[in-house]
Structure 1
Amino acid sequence: MGFETPEEGYLAKILLPAGSKDVPIGKLVCVIVENEADVAAFKDFKDDSPAPAAAPKPAAPEPAAPAPAAPVAPPPVPSARAPPEPAAPAPPEPAAAGGRVYASPMAKRLAEQRNIRLQGKGSGLYGSITSSDLPAAGAAAPASAHGAPPSAAASLVVPPAPSSSPYVDIPVSAMRATIAKRLLQSKTTLPHYYLTIEVNVDKLLQERAKFNKKLEKQGIKLSVNDFIIKAVAMACKKVPEANSYWMDSVIRQFTNVDVSVAVSTDKGLITPIVFAADQRPITEISQTVKALAAKAREGKLQPQEYQGGTISVSNLGMFDVDQFCAIINPPQSCILAIGSTVERLIPDSESEKGFKTSSYMSVTLSCDHRVVDGAVGAKWLQALRSHLEDPISMII
């Protein structure tokens, strides 16, 4: 076992080498002196006294040099200047402000290196502070001018980490913990697969501009996402397998399409639901989504407004994300990930330049393979594309 001496000084003589076995209690293992000049006096010193049974008479060294300090081994031990009948010294009381602090030399050296002020009692011999009582190097910080009163253990004045700390611990909210649990469960237990297509949105952007001009007086402004939600609902009517739950013993296929729309808030992601989106006009979907998103960011959504849904939509196109794969929200079977819209040059024989500019949007469908086979997922994407590339079909 290791032992850290509480005394300061110089190691003058090692009497028992490291690794010695069967060392009796009270056996002198080394000599420590207060002054470096006294080390040479103990060059030939030998401890011939047997291990004391109770309180043995200590042996005195021949040299007239200053006597060594108390030995490392637990008291009582023989010492060059120990009294005839040494008694164990009383443990030091916690030091008052400005008083002496009992600490090992190593502890003092480490405290000086880490800029920690020591006070009180530690776990060492007679309550001295040892290096093990000090915080780790990364946790050490400059001590304040006035420390707190000493406690039962060593009272090390370590103020909070400075602003230059390399990290910040952010508490996990209940909402974030729930999201993490559900996403981990989904990603590790659902057999995800992903299908990606590109959709030409030239007509969609043109029709949206026309609608917004007509609806301007009513204060309604349609977004591309509003058309996407409607197209998702109508695609689910054509391919109902994507509008289903996995229920272990059965697959529950829904007749209404309730679209969960991912909304980012300060507390995390939440998915308010546009119920019966297949039966609502796009203008109503737009107003509903705006109202739900506002309530979500204010933390005012009721559980019935975000629990459920039959399929989900997550749109990161506004953040210039070209394409991504979303994690399914169980027990749903599908989620659609929307990327950004980009312009491309397309060959056009009717154009004088030989090409034209078209806008394309990347969409990726994440499917639960237990419910939606690959061919079914592809069929659903074809239905989605047909509505997005012909937006009038969603209005008639």
Structure 2
Amino acid sequence: MSIEIKMPALSPTMEEGTLAKWLVKEGDTVKSGDIMAEIETDKATMEFEAVDEGVIAKILVAEGTDNVKVGAAIAILAEEGEDASAVSAPSKSETPEPADPEFKGRPDPTDPNAKGNEGKPVERTETQAEDHGRPADAGAESAARSGGQSGDRVKASPLARRIAAEKGVDLGAVSGSGPNGRIVKADIEGAKPGAAAPKTATSQPAETATAAAPTPAPAAAAKPIAIPDIPHEATKLSNMRKTIARRLTESKQQVPHIYLTVDVRLDALMKLRGELNGALSARGVKLSVNDMLVKALAQALIAVPKCNVMFTPDQLISFHRADISVAVSTPAGLITPIIAGAESKSLSAISTEMKDLAARARDNKLKPEEFQGGTASISNMGMFGIKQFEAVINPPQGMILAIGAGEKRPYIVDDALGVATVMTATGSFDHRAIDGADGAQLMKAFKELVESPLGMIA
């Protein structure tokens, strides 16, 4: 009996996704664990693994198709002994069911609509969409082939494809160094631009779907935005960028923000950092100021537990651990990897973990549980020379701390006017959950830890 392969739910809030790339074709035999497709979700590009064995009888949704609903049939798998050519596509009247009912109704810790979420990590088996370090087959091709013919596809990771499109690199002319000749990021970075052109909003998928993916009923039509007659380039919004836009809009519309700002003297922290880095150099560890600020925020949240909270319509959730989401800018958009239990970790452990998380975030290789959740966030724009800013809360978290640049300023030192290295920090608080006085207590505790940093390592 044939088996419908359905659009999987690769994250708890995923309702639809883009079928970015088929890695199999009709007639191919697959077994459990084989990678069949690359799917772009609202958070990342993931690889979709087969769970059954059989022959791909029909591909129902072409690669490049957007807005494919979770649970919609995307292919038909013929089981052993079944005539694949006799398999027919499902009736369009059939109503797709969610592919993974375990995810249905589960709130997302980063979604402002996720009511009652307690920030529990989500477990999944699918892997991230860059090179996984799998051993290459000894008999595999050493290079990817040009993808014009059926079965002659170019083997490349989604990140490599995106970079190639941006640089105008022809993937067919690039030799892959990944498993089975797969093209990875490093191969593209050293390649010269070729004939390929960047994708724009007007580009269309190369193939047409055998059966069109179900599309949601249109909401009230939005008034089209008039684009000025000025030379420009239109780039299609990624699912991640759409999600960022939606959640930030919802946060500002639904969460009453209150902003509290303090100036913090950094001289003692900078001195301690220099001494610690001298002692840690033999271990290859170099602390950043941000590593120390993550620790200070975590300890301040434990000291002022009324700010380490999450608001729901009928409950106030108070956390007993400070998991700090750290804003990291990536080519695809902003993502917030998490330092769990930062209040009890050493500065060297925070530094090592943060470097690893940031590197994998930029390569699109984070696991969902590494960026979903968190009890509060920190966003540091000091490296860009930004003096002060107000960050948007990342619901359902109750607060986010915005860090500005440290600079020499006139400052009262020991009751006399002097010069000190000072930064401005602004806390954004969900006023439904956190009163102004409690937010002020948190900012005071944070300032004291930074200005007397030995308390962080005592």
| TM-score for both structures, normalised by structure 2 | 0.49
The aligned residue for residue 376 of structure 1 is: 438
Indicate the SS of the match to 1:197: strand
Amino acid at match of 1:229: V
**Structure 1 Cα separation of the partners of residues 417 and 260 of structure 2:** 29
Shift in Å, 1:247:
1.4
Structure 1: gaps spanning 5 or more residues: 1-163
- Higher fraction of helix: 1
1:212-254: per-residue Cα shift (whole Å, max 9, x none)? 1111111110010011000001001111111111111000000
Code of the residue aligned with 2:232 in structure 1: it is Y
Paired letter, 1:394 = M
Residue equivalent to 1:393: 455
Residue by residue, what CA displacement relative to the aligned partner does 1:59-104 show, whole Å, maximum 9, x if unpaired?
xxxxxxxxxxxxxxxxxxxxxxxxxxxxxxxxxxxxxxxxxxxxxx
Q: Which residue of 2 aligns with 1:104?
A: none
Matching of residue 293 in structure 1 with residue 334 in structure 2: no
User: Is structure 2 residue 401 aligned with structure 1 residue 336?
Assistant: yes
Output aligned runs, 1:359-374, within 5 Å. 359-374=421-436
What's the secondary structure of 1:256's corresponding residue? coil
Correspondence 1:174 to 2:239 = yes
With CA pairs under 8 Å and 6+ residues apart, which has the higher RCO, 1 or 2?
Answer: 2
Residue in 1 that maps onto 2:291: 226
The within-5 A match list for 1:1-396 is 166-346=231-411, 356-396=418-458
Give the superposition deviation at 1:345: 2.9
Partner Cα separation in structure 2 for residue 365 and residue 348 of structure 1 = 24
Per-residue Cα deviation, 1:367-390 (whole angstroms, up to 9, x for no partner): 000001111100110000110001
Question: Taking structure 1 as reference, are residues 242 and 348 closer, same or farther at Cα in structure 2, changes over 3 Å only?
Answer: closer
1:190 deviates by 0.3
SS of the equivalent of 1:222 reads coil
Other structure's SS at 1:385 match: helix
Name the SS of the counterpart of 2:405 in structure 1: strand
- The Cα of 1:279 is off from its aligned counterpart by 1.2
Cα distance between partner residues in 1 of 2:360 and 2:369: 13
How has the CA–CA distance of structure 1 residues 347 and 311 changed in structure 2, closer, same or farther, with 3 Å as cutoff? Answer: closer
Q: Deviations over 1:291-311 (max 9, x none)?
A: 000000000001010000000
- Return the offset for 1:348: 6.1
What's the counterpart of residue 164 of structure 2?
Answer: none
Q: How far 1:349 sits from its partner (Å)?
A: 8.2
Distance 1:193 1:348 in 2: 30
Query: Amino acid of the residue matched to residue 380 of structure 2?
Result: N
Give the corresponding residue for 2:92.
none
- Aligned-pair CA distance for 1:357: 2.2
Aligned-partner residue type, residue 392 of structure 2? I
Deviations 1:333-390, CA, capped at 9 Å, x for gaps: 100000000102346689xxx8532100100000000001111100110000110001
Q: Distance in 1 between matches of 2:276 and 2:332?
A: 34
- Which one-letter code corresponds to 1:378 in the other structure? A
- 1:165 Cα deviation after fit: 5.6
| One-letter amino acid of the structure 1 residue matched with residue 448 of structure 2 | S
Aligned residue for 1:314, secondary structure, equals strand
Q: 1: CA distance between counterparts of 2:440 and 2:449?
A: 15
Long gaps (5+) in structure 2? 1-228
Tell me the TM-score normalized by structure 1: 0.57
Distance in 2 (CA, whole Å) between partners of 1:315 and 1:168 is 30
* Distance of 2:423 and 2:411 partners within structure 1: 14
Size of the aligned set, in residue pairs, is: 230
Structure having the higher strand fraction is 2
1:299 match: secondary structure: coil
% same residue:
45
Amino acid at match of 1:375: A
Amino acid at match of 1:245: M
Q: Which amino acid aligns with 1:393?
A: G
